[in-house]
Structure formats: C-alpha cells, structure tokens
Structure 1
Amino acid sequence: MSGIALIWAANVKSLKPAAKIVLIQLADFHNKETGQCNPSAQRLADECEMGRATLFRHMTTLEEYGLVTRHARGDGEGGRGSNQYELHLDITLGPSARPKGSGGGLNRVESQIETGGNVSKMRGKSLKGETGVVSNRDRNLTIEPKKEPPSRKREAEVDEETEKILGAYPPDRLRGKAACLAQIEAAMKEGIEPEDLRQAVQAYANDSAGFTRSKVCFSDNWFQSRRWQSYVERQAKDREKAASLQADHHTRLACWISDHHPMCKHITPTQVTALLASKLVSQAQIHAAGLRT
C-alpha cells in the first residue's frame, strides 16, 4: 500500500462515485517501492463490489482521463496474466494551478511524490484533458470529462442483464453479490443466453420455494457450483420436445391439405403461414384446399 497514491486518489474530483472507488482501490494496491500495481481483474472487482464488465467500463474512464494506464502481461507460459496498472501521480499543470514565475507551458510537470516543491521534470506530451496538481489534501484536483467511453452502452446492457438474472434469485438467500455477478458474466461469455439463465434461476426459485434453511443454497455458492446448468439443459430439452411436437402437428396438417380432408376447415391462417414457411405445402395446394393465408 502506498500512502502517497491513496492521498492522490482521494483528492481527484469530478469523477463519478463508482469510478472514484476503482481509482482508490487501485491506489491501495500500489507498491511505493516498486511502483507496480498488479491486482487481478477479479480481485479488483471483488474489492470494489462490482461486476467485471462494470469494472472495465470505469477503468476505461480512468484511462481516458489520463489517470491510469493498463499494461498487458504474460503468465510466463505463453498465456495472458493479470494486467499491470500505472498510476500517473505526476499531473500536468493547468493554467489555474501554475505557480507564479514558472516558465514553460503544459509540458512542465510537478511531481506529487516530491515534497520539496522545487523538483520538476519534462514530459514529452501532456496527459488527456486539462488538470491541476495537488501537493497535499487541502488543494483540489479537478478533471473535466470530455466524452463517455465508446463501449459504455454495450457494457451497461450487460450490467442490466446480470442484475436482472441475479434479481430472480430468492432475495433472502443473496450473498456475495460481486462474486455472483462475475459468475453470471462468465456463463454468458460461454454462450449461455441471458434469458435462458434468468429462467433457470427463476425455475430454481420456484422449485425451492418453502424449503427449510438446511435445504437451500446461498447465491454465491449456487452460481459457483453451476447449479443453473441442469435447469438450462432441462429448458433446452423442453424446447426440443415442443419443436418436435409442433413439427409432427404441421406434418399432419399438411397431409390434410394434400388430401383435401374435411378437417382442413379447422386450419387457421396462422397455421397456413407456418406451413408455407416450412415448405410442407405449396401455395397452389393451399388454394386447392380452399384456404387463405
């Protein structure tokens, strides 16, 4: 933990509360000796009590404001390891924060790590946005947002889906919300449809209604052990069975039409449309049987 990094993060203003939480948690992982900040995405999401998609959205915001830079790392075996985060504790001086008599423009940077106040260095280019610096907790750092991250809408939709799925779980058994949301997001990344997963959770809630305390499962354990999988598989089998029954029914209707059976009069326009779409009958056969779409 680095006290300097925490002080810096605490003094950043004009961020949304959730983004501020991410910044402070990152600063808490900062190592003042090595300058490294290496929490895994899951560990950081758990500490912030939010889903991974939400975490990545706020991390993008911090990067766009020039506060944080992410560096991808390998795991030493050809795979991908956890990211390394660089906190920009050196902030470009804005016009209102530049001390009197200081020459130079926005490329002159005062380091918050230095305590003497006279140490400065040059940076090749300024960080994104116009910002100020703070040398202690009594001065404010103001950051004016310029634009929202481009993927904000898509990630917000993912967050809404995960919240809806978790909301179907019996409320008296909810525990470890961040862990649950992470497991739900992982399931959706595997290709599980959000609505299928929500229906699986709802089916479990219905099946377990009225169970005693010893027979129920808390949400974090339920999602961790993938208890939803049996419900999703059962739903898939039910759909296959329904599709098979419908196909048999359409085949029978097509036979009626081909044979000009008296029961043709009971075939509805909706069924006629479905038969034409499935190519079980032709338009000529429909007319010959005296039916209309």
Structure 2
Amino acid sequence: MSYHVESICDRRRFGSATRKQIVMYLANKASDDGTGIWCSKHTIARHTELSLATVKRVIRDFLAEGILLATGLRDTSRHGQTVVYRIVLEAVEELELLQWSTGSSTTGVTLNPVPPVPATGVTVSPQPGSGRPPNNPKNHPENPPSARTSAREAADADLEPLWEAYPADRRRDRKACGQILAGAQAEASSEELTEAARTYAAETADYTRTKVMFLDNWLRTGKWRRYVEEARGRAREKESRARTDEETMIRSAARWILERSAMCRHVPRKYALKAVERGLITLRDAQAAGVL
C-alpha cells in the first residue's frame, strides 16, 4: 500500500469515475515508486464492483496512454500467471489537477420578487441631445499608462507569488524587494524563486523568528541559490530517470515482440514504433506480433 501514490492519483483528473476508481485501486496496491502491482483483472472487478469487460478496457486504455506499464509476469496458484504493472508517476503528474472550489453556498428563504407595476400618468418626451449620460466613462477616456508604470506593474506581478510564499512576518520593504528581484531573475525564473521561497519557509517553520531572514536580505545575499540548484538537480534526476525507464521499456517491448511473448498484447503502440525507429525490430516483426 502506498499513500504517496494514492495522493498523487487522487489529485489528478482521469476523465471518468470508472477510470478514477480503477487507478485508485491500483495505487493502493503499489509501492511508493508505483511498481509491484500484481492483481488479476478478476480481483479488480470484484473489489471495484465493475464488470470484467470494463476493467479490461480501462487497463488497456491506461497502457496505451502510458499511465500503466506492464513490467513482467508473476506466477499465481489460482490463475496461472498475473501481469505485474507499474503506475508511471511522471505521466500521472502531467494530468490535469482537480480544481477545488473555495466558494460557499448560501441557503435561506427565497423571496418572491415584487411584480413590476405599469407606469401611469403623464409621459414626458425626452429632450434631444447626446445619447450618453454625462457620467458615461466613454466621455472621459483615461490616459494610456506610461512605460514606467507598465514596467512597475509587471515587476510587482512577478513579486506577488514570491511575496505570498515567504513567511508573513519576515516580509518588509516591498519596493526594495521588487528591485532586488529584478537582478535575481537574471539567474533564475520567477517560478524557481517562488518555489525556493516555499522550501525555505517550510525548512524554517520551527525556527525562532530571529533565525529567519527578512525577504529583502534573503534576496540580496543570494540565499535562494542553494534551493534553486537543488530543485534543478531534482528535475534533472527525474528527467534522467524517465529517459532510462523509457529506454528499458522500449528494449523490453522489442524483446517481447521478437520472442512473440504473451506480453505483446500489453506493449503500447508508441514503444513498438520507437523500437522500429531504433532498428531493434522491423515493422514486419511488430505486425506479426499483433502490436501494430
């Protein structure tokens, strides 16, 4: 059981309640890296109370979309062999995040509107003149913003997420922070600096306030650089791991196709095509194995 994988899947949109129900069941059976899922489709259908045909169709779709990968076979006492799956966390994290509503619904007595009363009496003819009332904003066009004003507003917009991410009682001198931020953006993007501020805020959450730097000093002294570099390192490591996993799956797919293995029916089309492009197999091999 992996609460980590369940949490990642829970926050993503999978397109239907059926798909979400099946992927949450698989996530419950996975290790923290998404691997080691070995439960038969009959078991999934029994626990989710869905039909076996529906379970097979959804898993087939997940394999084609790259959300699931078949990593091997496992012998079982009841059904012979069961496919072992892995949830590709990188593919899941690219799915659309669920949007949580922050509004509150209001209830109470609904009052019936008062019906309009037809006007009676003398009808006054309108006086000729302009069709616009004197307070119409089109009668008083505003002056276009100056270049300096536009630049200041853009700088303030860049600072806003960083300002909100930093510990509230350690913020000061917003104008100076905006000026220093402009220099820091030559080395890091606004998103990287904002994420660095969040990491620093979490790291110093239990510190006494005197041990936490003010935001202007944090930017001026470059304390953000360590967090940016660590985040970039994690991103490179994640990208490298994804490339390694993809290379492993392409080579496994080529081997299964050449061996006419039972795993051929679980090979996604995109991996078969990449194996053909790299010369590991021929198009005729893939077609003979029923993959293409």
Whether the TM-score (by the shorter chain) exceeds 0.5 is no
TM-score normalised by the chain length of structure 2: 0.42
TM-score normalised by the chain length of structure 1: 0.42
Q: Greater helix share, 1 or 2?
A: 2
